[in-house]
Amino acid sequence: MTDAAVCLPVLPACDLAEAKIFYAGLLGFAEIVYSDDNYLIVRRGSMELHLWHTADRNLAENTSCYIRGGEISGLYAEYAARGVPRLSAFEIRPWGMKEFYIHDPSGVLLRFGCAPEEIGA
């Protein structure tokens, strides 16, 4: 039997040093798997994000990533307590998912969500 496939986002970042501080420091993706001038891999538990350097801010501002799971409510509480900038409300959206949003320093939209029944909401 083989391992299940994993899908990992590869996100643009205008400044990888700033991205490392934001993701590793503020969002808790503290395990730096790889880092150089053009590529960064960060991990938090089973969540892993890859970031690549781009000078195109428009590309970053038009990119998003959806992170789904039952631990989302705990992440929201942690991020609210840390004062993460540009943190949206954590609420049930018209499409039935309970979600919150964060924009990273480059403008990438991080969408965190779960089905309300996954967290008893």
53-68: per-residue pLDDT in tens? 999 999 999 999 999 9
Does the pTM surpass 0.85? The reply is yes
pLDDT tier at 5 (50, 70, 90 boundaries)?
Answer: confident
pLDDT grade, residue 121 (50/70/90)? low
Question: Rounded to the nearest 5°, which phi and psi values hold at 60?
Answer: -60, -40
CA dist 77 and 73 (Å) reads 6
Between 2 and 89, where is the model more confident? 89
Residue type for position 86: R
